Amino acid sequence: MDRTSFKRDIWHFFCKHGFKEMALLIVFLLPFSCSGSRQQVIRDVSVRLYVAGNEPFTRLLAEFADGKTMEISQQSPDYNTLWSMQTRTIRIIEARVILKHDQQILLIRKFEPNGRDK
């Protein structure tokens, strides 16, 4: 077997088998690789907590200084503590904005009560 036919055989094998698998791999992995890289991190921000909605469909919201509101995720580590602090102001030490059903939701990881609300 000469060198030219060997290269041609390798190329033929790759074209026949490799491109399909590579294309499928890219199609399946591309959405996952892009989804996690766009999470916004929020640090050192004061927000006021309040509850919106009617029972049994209430949700805990955070209101920012500019008037924008965002729902607080129930997966926040201290969600029950946050719930009990309705109408109070807290300082978010660390939080992430996650996308759930095309809606931005705030996952608060660390917070502390604001000075005058302790």
pLDDT, tens digit, 9 for 90 and up, residues 62-101: 999 999 999 999 999 999 999 999 999 999 999 999 988 8
3.30.930.10, 3.40.50.720, 2.40.50.140, 2.30.40.10: CATH of 40-117: 2.40.50.140
Boundaries of every domain in the chain? 3-38, 40-117
Angle value at C-alpha 74, between 71 and 76, nearest 5 degrees: 95
| CA quadruple 98, 101, 49, 74: dihedral, nearest 10 | -80
As given in the structure block, the two tokens for residue 12 are: 């033929």
pLDDT, tens digit, 9 for 90 and up, residues 41-68: 999 999 999 999 998 999 999 999 999 9
pTM: 0.64
Residue 25: predicted pLDDT = 47
pLDDT band at 15 (very low <50, low <70, confident <90, very high): low
